Amino acid sequence: MSIYATLWKLKFPCDIFDPVNGEWVEVTAQAVPAHVGTPTPGFAYEDGDPFAGFLPPAIEVDADGDAPTYRAVVFVTPKTKKGTTRSGQEYVEPLLCLDGEAYAQLTIEALYAEMRRAIRI
């Protein structure tokens, strides 16, 4: 079972000088729900957060496992590999990993700029 839920997929031009005829890369935003690894008692993580080594810090949730934001949003391409010796859930060199609060505050313009930097446009 995956800890990720797909939020969206968008295509970004790889060549800003020829976005019509140039190549495009598909970017997928993978959200990690707030309850994953939560320190809140009753969610099976009393022995610790198994994802702390590669995700932003876990967050508190309410009795239903909800919080105002995701724990994290990880941006990947079809070429991004998943699974490491540390965890089968860890992405190898994702484009970007944000905590849920940073993602919630991100404007579309800032997201586009981050993706252009991440895919080296």
Q: What is the pTM of this model?
A: 0.90
DSSP secondary structure string for all residues of 41-75: TTSS-TT--TTTTTSSPP----TTS--SS-SEEEE
pLDDT in tens, 38-84: 999 999 999 999 999 999 999 999 999 999 999 999 999 999 999 99
What is the count of structural domains for the chain?
Answer: 1
Which residue range is the domain that position 46 belongs to?
A: 5-118
Residue-wise pLDDT tens digits, 75-113: 999 999 999 999 999 999 999 999 999 999 999 999 989
